[in-house]
Amino acid sequence: MATMIVPNSIAFQLSANSLFFLFLIIFCSSCKTTYAFQGTKSKSFHHILHLNSLLQSAACNSSTQGLQHQKSSLQVVHKHGPCSPLHLDRAKTPPTHAETFFQDEGRVRYIQSRLANKSGSKADVKVTDVANLPAWDGRVVGSGNYIVTVGIGTPKKQLSLIFDTGSDITWTQCEPCLGYCYQQRDAKFDPSVSSTYSNVSCNSVQCSSLLSATGYLPLCSLSTCVYGTQYGDSSFSTGFFAKERLTLTPFDVFDNFLFGCGQNNQGLFGGAAGLLGLGRDQLSLPSQTARKYNTIFSYCLPSSSSSIGFLTLGKCKRYGSKSVKFTPLSTSIQDSSFYGLDITGISVGGKRLSISASVFTTAGAIIDSGTVITRLPPDAYAALRSEFRQRMRRYRMGRELSILDTCYDFSKYKSVNIPKISFFFRGGVKLTIPLVGTLYVANVSQVCLAFAANSDTSDLAIFGNTQQKTLQVIYDGAGGRVGFGTKGCY
């Protein structure tokens, strides 16, 4: 019997049964849950932040009042928050702020190196090479903060998956875990009890397509296709490449959905059962459901971990609204998985910063649901920080927080004025970052500007998920554009 080498030198043998899969996320158009920053916007170029709003609720505010329900929508929750199904696992404590940024750095390095080496020899790397790379310490994977619950198999099994616009292949941990499975909240998917599971053949076109989706050549175990995917910290998943029924909602059921049935998985995925890939490759969820949704999806990330957001497949109700501004996807990003943006400028408090256009075009930029803090070219961040500090000079500086070097101690104030930050994108699109996306709050004495600098001008800029909070972000793959709408959720 043919075998495959997996991490820890555990033999990985073929098992041809049924499977499980996972999928994605949430509601369409305007949810109304507690806004972490409850201050109202001033009529000037400032936000008013009321300090009593910085304390987040320990309970889930699950109200959906005002939400524009759509059939093809799923709920999106922060994986460590009280609204998450993983929150009930008392054995798992949320990461500290330092750990969060450590994870974020791993993800950023992975994305930047992947794009920097886009002309490299990924085709020469095999799954066995991935499998033999140890995860640093098993703590980080850098694959995102937000999860959705989808159904896999027949009968349907509900699984909580991390959704990620920077990844393509969807995978979940599967019994019998011939190599290793990390601890997850949901019971692991057992393909042997699903009537709709089938393995993908090694000789199939689908198996060959794994190279572009994962960057690694597939292998075979007997005649079954074996996938391997790795993340920024060397965490990974390997297993059988398979087909299964995916149930997103009662109205949205897809047979023969291609996914990874993980038999050897290492890294801490926050108790989630796997990952839902929302990238642009042909194996991603948007591409596999393109006949119905035309590679269009949107989401809104909630303002806090105690609130709920949404992910909608297909055109949402605000798709054609004048309140949504679209910018073309960048043509400078060669990797087919990522959604590129062309940043043309930044303003602080209504003042357009003096930043050369070449600062943004040298390495380009992407939007990413899994990166927490937006990374900017060094010169762009220096200009942003300088102007922000100048306008905040009346307030006392606080201790730096890991990669965040501009922090304030607001403990003696009841309210403060925060200058509005706006990004400009190709096509004349101006996006004013919500207050909740401007600041990262450790505590009232350590409230930080939620942006960081890249280490080099050649490093890709990344528009992260903190800056996306409460916005409705619309990905129109068919139209080659990304749209932004305000007040998508709260």
Query: How far from the centroid of its chain's Cα atoms is residue 434's Cα?
Result: 19
Taking a C-beta distance cutoff of 8 angstroms, is the pair 157, 241 a contact?
no
CA 379 – CA 398 distance, rounded (Å): 23
Tokens 């305000």, residue located = 486
Question: Biggest alpha carbon distance in the chain?
Answer: 72
CA 468 – CA 47 distance, rounded (Å): 17
Q: Active-site residue 233, yes or no?
A: no
CA 36 – CA 469 distance, rounded (Å): 10
Q: What is the residue type of 360?
A: F
CA 234 – CA 212 distance, rounded (Å): 19
Taking a C-beta distance cutoff of 8 angstroms, is the pair 370, 465 a contact?
yes
CA 230 – CA 220 distance, rounded (Å): 18
Taking a C-beta distance cutoff of 8 angstroms, is the pair 342, 365 a contact?
yes
On the 0-12 / 13-18 / 19+ scale of CB atoms within 10 A, 290 is middle
Question: Which positions ≥6 away from 16 have C-beta within 8 Å?
Answer: 199, 224
155 cis-preceded (ω within 30 degrees of 0): yes
DSSP state of 284: S
Of the candidates 186, 252, 281, 368, the residue annotated as catalytic is 368
Of the candidates 104, 164, 281, 476, the residue annotated as catalytic is 164
Question: Which positions ≥6 away from 76 have C-beta within 8 Å?
Answer: 25, 26, 27, 146, 147, 148, 163, 299, 300, 301, 302, 308, 309, 310, 311
CA 146 – CA 310 distance, rounded (Å): 10
Q: What is the residue type of 427?
A: G
Q: Active-site residue 368, yes or no?
A: yes
**Residues designated catalytic:** 164, 368
